[in-house]
Amino acid sequence: MIILTIQNLHKAFGGNVVLKDVSMTLQDHQRMGLVGVNGCGKSTLLKILAGKEQADGGSISLMKGIRVGYMEQQYTAKEDATVFEELQDVFAPVFAMEEKLRALEAQMADIQDETELKRLGDTYARLSDAFEKADGYAWRSAIQGVLSGLGFKKEQYDQPARVLSGGELTRLCLAKLLLQKPDLLLLDEPTNHLDLQALDWLEKYLSEYKGSLIVVSHDRYFLDHVCTHVTELLLGVAESYNGNYSAYMPQRAERFESRMRAWEQQQKMIAREEAIIARYKSFNREKSIKAAESREKRLEKVERLERPEDEHQVRFRFEAKRRTGDDVMAIRDFAKSFGERKLFQNIDLNMRAGDRIALIGPNGIGKTTLLRCILGEETPDSGFVRWGANVDVGYYDQQQRTLHPEKTVLDEVWDAFPRMEQSDVRGALGLFLFTGEDVFMPIHTLSGGEKGRVALTKLMLHKDNFLLLDEPTNHLDMDSREVLEDALENFTGTILAVSHDRYFINRFANKVVVLSQDGAKEYLGNFDDYQARIQWEQAQNSDDIKYASMTRTEAGKEKRKARLAREQMKALKEAVKLAEKMVMDGEEAVAAHEELMATAEVYSNPDKAAAAAKEYQRLKDELARRYADWEAAEEALAEAEENE
């Protein structure tokens, strides 16, 4: 069931056309990821759908009765409202109903006329029923439940909302939306400022969300785990794809290649026809001229395909000018505090040539500070760094503090490499999409993504063999992130990167190091491997507690019994899946046979019709048996789950 239809939407800001001809639909229960390069109009489209902006043309049709909830990138709380009071606003209609109920109670207490009293009593009953359905008697507990679920502590309820961090404001905005219970959620970069724990919670919540969702996000791991569909805004129009982000990428490439092939084939056909027409005309005879004119008319009627265009992409690679020794870096007993606030202590880390380590941990734990201590820009309270042979360190600063605001893009890079020819510097900048007059833009006028591309240009030209990267995918659009990952994949040196981008970590890392106040713990593999290990450790800890009071023999028996139960449960779930597939195959066979029986070749021939009817009955009987098997498998699984 379609709940939202957008047709031929366009929007411009001055002479800058952002949305040219956007058309798309959204089905009930669909979770759509809205993607595209920075500046392509994703946030603008959400604002138009939320009624915050007006389109210049086109139409938007929303199913009657659909309630829309919108979360902006930057949520601003009321100046004097507490965390709890911010959420009380959601229940303003409930409070208004409560006032009417009190007023009706006062009126009924003074009325003697039975007819009027009955009329007011009926009104009171209807309003009281609506009040109860709107959580009128439970609004306080509803707020407390949502705040608790989103990780707010009780002592924060009376805290001014304006002093919350970016991540806390994001969660507060989400809490408000949850209490509103909209049918359609519009979320603009909801993962910004969230740590891994909060991201995990948000993914689970949205994956189970009963309504529909349109979400703008650069977090590809998030899009993979939440979205059922992806729509890309490309050069002002919308392209829709089935599946999550990983499913969208190959589909996108195939569509582009298919369109390019069709355009190239048409260009060859047009060139061939024009050559034939020119040859006919060269004969300069009445018959050949008529033939040429006939072909020209046919060619004019051909609907010309436009050459497929793709957004320009960054293209670069990292090289190392020399090799390091086997041992690249060793950290021993690092600790760092600011006043009474302890960031970390007891940090030991060894890095060997070819290591690709992702450094993760909660916000505020000191990941960036640790990188700065390694570089010598901060002094640790204790510990030291020991470097290996021939190590050249390249640093990507997420704040871009090394860039000079008043310099032009060209001077920023050229001053760092004065021996290069200007043409070579401009060629390097061209790889990062700085062409023509772009190279004369002052650094302070650039967006976050553009500053990141300048920093990456300098990092590429340095050709260092050990890269320290602090949130390198921040501000980059998805295509640029993919290219950065390709460049790092082919890099022969060593990498230590701080990142919240789980998709990025999966692409580049062969180790994950988790930073905490009391040390650093290392896990082999990428982010998914780390997650699997954490889940296994949690299961082991749960078993250890469960079997702590048993003897070793008793615990062994119980563990074997639990393992057998898990294996049985897995087998039952597989049986249900297989039975369901068999039913679907059976239904397809019956449907195909019904189409066959409807053909003239079968129903007009008595013998074929009789044989087809017999086969049809056999297929129906087989389908009924498969349904019975499916039902039995479902019952067996349900019984096993009840007995767990």
Q: What is the DSSP string of 164-213?
A: S-HHHHHHHHHHHHHHH--SEEEEESTTTT--HHHHHHHHHHHHT-SSEE
Letter for the amino acid at 1?
M
- Output the pLDDT for position 564: 66
Sheet holding 68-71, edge to edge: 57-62, 2-13, 16-27, 237-242, 229-234, 31-35, 212-216, 184-188, 68-71
Phi and psi, residue 377, nearest 5°: -80, -20
Does pTM top 0.85 for this prediction?
no
Phi and psi, residue 599, nearest 5°: -75, 145
CA of residue 504 relative to chain centroid, distance: 12
- Closest to 417 measured CA to CA, from 478, 351, 469, 461: 461
Q: Are strands 519-524 and 511-516 parallel, antiparallel or unpaired?
A: antiparallel
- Closest to 334 measured CA to CA, from 380, 292, 273: 380
- Output the pLDDT for position 146: 80
Q: At what angle do helices 448-462 and 422-431 cross, to 10 degrees?
A: 120
- Output the pLDDT for position 112: 74
Q: Are strands 511-516 and 494-498 parallel, antiparallel or unpaired?
A: unpaired
Q: At what angle do helices 286-301 and 245-283 cross, to 10 degrees?
A: 160
Which residues are CB-contacts of 37 (< 8 A; sequence separation ≥ 6)? 311, 477, 478, 479
- Torsion from C-alpha of 130, 135, 138, 139, nearest 10 degrees: -120
Which residues are CB-contacts of 267 (< 8 A; sequence separation ≥ 6)? none
CA atoms lying within 13 Å on the CB side of residue 161: 22
Within 388-465, strands assigned E span 393-396
Structural contact between residues 342 and 366, judged by C-beta atoms closer than 8 angstroms: no
CA atoms lying within 13 Å on the CB side of residue 270: 13
* Structure tokens given for 177: 């939306």
- Closest to 461 measured CA to CA, from 495, 488, 505, 427: 427
113: number of Cβ within 10 Å: 9
640: number of Cβ within 10 Å: 15
- Output the pLDDT for position 90: 83
CA distances from 562 to 111, 547, 555, 644 (A): 69, 11, 10, 10
CA atoms lying within 13 Å on the CB side of residue 283: 13
Interatomic CA distance for residues 525 and 533, integer angstroms? 10
Interatomic CA distance for residues 439 and 425, integer angstroms? 10
Interatomic CA distance for residues 60 and 48, integer angstroms? 9
Residue found under tokens 């915050």: 52
* Structure tokens given for 623: 């389908």
Element housing 125 (H / E): helix 114-133
- Closest to 414 measured CA to CA, from 457, 383, 385: 457
CA of residue 382 relative to chain centroid, distance: 40
- Output the pLDDT for position 269: 93
- Residues of 594-619 as b/e, b for ≥16 C-beta within 10 angstroms? eeeeeeeebeeeeeeeeebeeebeeb
Interatomic CA distance for residues 39 and 36, integer angstroms? 8
Maximum separation of any 2 CA atoms in the chain, in Å? 109
Letter for the amino acid at 433?
L
Phi and psi, residue 182, nearest 5°: -75, 160
Sheet holding 519-524, edge to edge: 393-396, 466-470, 494-498, 356-360, 511-516, 519-524
Which residues are CB-contacts of 290 (< 8 A; sequence separation ≥ 6)? none
Structural contact between residues 430 and 466, judged by C-beta atoms closer than 8 angstroms: no
Please list the residues that pair with 6 across neighbouring strands: 24, 60
CA dihedral for 141, 147, 153, 156, sign (positive or negative): negative
* Structure tokens given for 304: 């010309």
426: number of Cβ within 10 Å: 19
- Output the pLDDT for position 446: 87
Structural contact between residues 53 and 47, judged by C-beta atoms closer than 8 angstroms: yes
Interatomic CA distance for residues 288 and 236, integer angstroms? 45
pLDDT beneath 50, residues of the chain: none
Element housing 350 (H / E): strand 341-352
Structural contact between residues 339 and 514, judged by C-beta atoms closer than 8 angstroms: no
Letter for the amino acid at 238?
A
